[in-house]
Amino acid sequence: MLLERIAIASTRIPRVQSDESTLITASITAMVEARDAKGSGWWTGTRLAHLTDEAGGDAAANAIAAIGGERVPSGSYTVIFGHQPVADILNNIVIPACTASSFYSMNTPFLGKLGQTVAAPRLTIADDGAVPGYMGSKGITCEGLPTGRTELIRRGVLTGCLSSWYETMRLLHDGALAEKLGATGPSAAAALVPRNGFRFGTGGGRQFDTSPGISASNVVVEGEDPVALPELISRVRDGLYVGRIWYTYPINGLRAGDFTCTVVGDSHVIRDGRLAAPLAANVIRISDNILRFLPNVVGISSATRGTTVWAADEVTYTPELVVTGVPVEEIHITR
């Protein structure tokens, strides 16, 4: 639980500004050690009165469901990515690639692509720091500027970047702006409104003794034609449901767009349109490229859930996503 109260004063601000916010998270891992099975659960919110036993119940149920996990061979699969995997990929790959500083340093796979299609037309990804009741919402940034909604990808098209005041000014005055961002003038300025200058500290909230950096607040994933999860599973027919991943990182630098992660739990094999068997933990690795991954989103669930990832101050409100042609590599352990 974290209660934040801040005040900001500056010679450039007419009066002292203040802000107050509250966030609460619960994260639990349950294990059936005799059967080498584990499961996880979590909860996010802003009010203690809303806290439930959801995290513990989910963790216990997922651990029991993981008993008797199977292996699958390497190959290309249609995969339903659960809430946590979507949040983890966004936090470690997509959001860092959609910051003004990454465009300035030319360290993004979206270099020069503002206004171009980079994802499936059904997909919209935004950051919105002013949604009432969302865990990452703030009244003002740590630069004293108003928070709000920045659409990063709208219906598959790259439309904006997260930025601070400093990074916005630096990029707008860069002689290579057109090459780096893909736009100049009013279009560039509209894409670089500084709503995300925060003094965050690796999951610990605002820190007065750090400089403002670019950080997300509430990452919101939206999609067209969402359906309930059972319907998604039925449409997939044969594939995988991936419920939890870790060690998600860009393996050849962020600009290349290549990333990898390991599936560690809460996952299942899909056969004949149903969850047929649990997938054993740590037996497959996913290695893909974000420029291929995002355009291959073919389905979205109707259940959005607030999700946090390790040492992150933002929260991701996301449905489950179906992605086709995901490269899966079996992990062989030599004893």
Half-sphere exposure of 199 (CA within 13 A, CB side): 15
The whole-chain average pLDDT of the chain stands at 95
Question: What one-letter code names the amino acid at 102?
Answer: S
Residue 151 has pLDDT above 80, yes or no: yes
pLDDT at 189: 98
Residue 194: how many other CB atoms lie within 10 Å = 22
Each domain of the chain, given as residue ranges in start order, spans: 2-330
Least Cα distance to 145 among 205, 195, 219 occurs for 195
Query: pTM for the whole thing?
Result: 0.96
Q: Residue 289's Cα: distance from chain center in Å? A: 16
The stretches of 3-82 forming alpha helices (DSSP H) are 54-65
* pLDDT confidence tier of residue 224, bands split at 50, 70 and 90: very high
18-66 pLDDT, tens digit per residue, is: 999 999 999 999 999 999 899 999 999 999 999 999 999 999 999 999 9
53: Cβ contacts below 8 Å, ≥ 6 apart = none
pLDDT at 185: 97
- Whole-number Cα distances in Å, 5 to 21, 207, 273: 7, 11, 49
DSSP state for residue 116 in the 8-state scheme: S
Region 319-331 average pLDDT: 98
- Beta strand 274-278 with 284-289 is unpaired
* pLDDT for residue 130 is more than 90: yes
When pLDDT is averaged across residues 139-168 and rounded to a whole number, the result is: 97
- Residue 123 pLDDT > 70, yes or no? yes
Q: Is the pLDDT of residue 205 over 90?
A: no
**Amino acid identity, position 162:** L
CB 176 within 8 A of CB 162: no
Do 153 and 295 form a contact (C-beta atoms < 8 A)? no
Contact call for residues 21 and 47 (beta carbons, < 8 A): no
DSSP summary character for residue 33: G
User: pLDDT category, 14, cuts 50, 70, 90?
Assistant: confident
Tell whether the model's pLDDT for residue 204 goes beyond 80.
no
Q: What is the pLDDT of residue 334?
A: 67
| SS3 of residue 195 by DSSP | coil
For the chain, percent of residues with pLDDT exceeding 90: 91
Bridge partners (DSSP) listed for residue 44 = 25
